[in-house]
Structure 1
């Protein structure tokens, strides 16, 4: 009746990781497994140490976010998996609200909206994600943007046996590529119109530091998947 949800937190030299872990521990839903995957950090390990008796902690050689996510998913014992970046936060009822939403629909994967906060955790904007009027409008958005924020997603662990794991060759846009594969595998991406995650915008965001590299990966993803996506729209 109360499925286990595994929360995977990949971390690499993140000064906010203690806040992320605490937000996962503070969930109102009780059957939660927290998996912290330390991707070869050389700093801020002291921020993880106080939590090691309350989480499943794994340390691995540095391989990037995709490799850390895959490591966490493979070690997850939950029927459902959620991803929390080490600099973001879950609202206390995030797991409870989203899991209830998914169970009511027998959904394989879902996403929600999010709030945008600054380095001091002050709210910059509520409901920072775009809302789409129709399902087709949402799917068309994948052609030119990334309409799903990774830390708002929850999925059945079984989904990965159908669509595969995150692409470890992509260092910055592994989420975009994964969502493309889910969409093209014809799994419904159900949307819960609630803001249940706090996305932290700060000077260390990959979007700021690695913009040129991200643009190259995005170009590759669109060249790979957009033709198939467009054919799907034409035939539907």
Structure 2
């Protein structure tokens, strides 16, 4: 059954059909106690009231337990540190809502988020998840500029193969029966297990996107997505597994190729920049070696581009730039296809 787009919804009809539908809001937390109260309060403030809130303390060494204890309606679960994907799976196993939202502890739901997504899921019982949009916020909760992309259309699995169009898991509401059918989050790709889940679900069931704002995605110095080597490793692992499922489907293979290229160039550039900064500052040589190996395995052309730039820079110190035959600005594009490849 192929992915489908959301059609027009009669809100009154959707509300009648949603009567009694319990929504589980699962909040995994590891070293995010300073933001956890915001996340819990955004869940408690929902206009849709048939909810349960489950906080999973993933072995966090901070004040997560104390923060959760301030909110009696919250079900609190504690486990040894096993990673974000495992914490989400624990929350899923210890909740019972017909619909499920995974709210990261550093993000927030907007007041109508649950009602908005319940309306859309109940309007089409074939849809396995719906995804709305989010604003960016700063560490202190203040708004940040947010550019919203055009809503995806057509084969939504192919859209997601080409690029993850979901900014944060809080934007998504899953139908529990779909999660039960395909299994939980993949703990082997912990940093990107949400993206792997979107791909797995959208391949098996129809999914839908809509243009309503439902969440706030907090950007701060500890976001997991800032760990470029880890993101590159996990995303490349996901794409390798996806490749085996696409034999004979040229349209989705093209989307897969675009997605792999985007991942390698975006995160590969970030890894190369990190290597350059640490070499320049003569620090963390162990990380320099590890990051270099990551590039060699997952984005070798990016590594060669980095080495080429370093070589040209060294030569420039000996010879004036006008005496060089190589145009430095063109070298990265010649080697790795250029940044414009992100927009192909």
Structure with the higher fraction of residues in strand conformation? 1
Tell me, what secondary structure is at the counterpart of 2:191?
A: coil
Name the CA distance, whole Å, in 1 between partners of 2:68 and 2:187. Answer: 25
Which residue of structure 2 aligns with residue 103 of structure 1?
A: 122
User: Structure 1: where are the runs of 5+ without partners?
Assistant: none
Establish whether residue 29 from structure 1 lines up as the match of residue 75 from structure 2: no
Contact in 1 for aligned 2:113/2:215 (Cα 8 Å)? yes
Structure with the higher fraction of residues in helix conformation? 2
Which residue of structure 1 aligns with residue 145 of structure 2?
A: 125
Establish whether residue 222 from structure 1 lines up as the match of residue 242 from structure 2: no
> Counterparts in 2 of 1:62-211, with a 5 A limit?
62-106=81-125, 107-126=127-146, 128-136=147-155, 138-148=156-166, 149-185=168-204, 187-208=205-226, 210-211=227-228
Question: What's the CA shift for 1:165?
Answer: 0.7
Question: What's the CA shift for 1:195?
Answer: 0.8
Name the CA distance, whole Å, in 2 between partners of 1:134 and 1:7. Answer: 28
Tell me, what secondary structure is at the counterpart of 2:190?
A: coil
**Bigger relative contact order (CA 8 A; separation at least 6):** 1
Q: Deviations over 1:150-173 (max 9, x none)?
A: 221111111122111101122201
Question: What's the CA shift for 1:86?
Answer: 0.1
Question: What's the CA shift for 1:35?
Answer: 0.4
Root-mean-square deviation (Å): 1.9
**Which moves more between the two structures, 42-51 or 31-40?**
42-51
Which residue of structure 2 aligns with residue 3 of structure 1?
A: 21
Question: What's the CA shift for 1:105?
Answer: 1.8
Q: Rg bigger for which structure? A: 2
Name the CA distance, whole Å, in 2 between partners of 1:151 and 1:4. Answer: 17
Tell me, what secondary structure is at the counterpart of 2:144?
A: strand
Q: Deviations over 1:34-76 (max 9, x none)?
A: 000000111123322211x211100011000100000111111
Tell me, what secondary structure is at the counterpart of 2:97?
A: coil
Question: What's the CA shift for 1:233?
Answer: 4.9
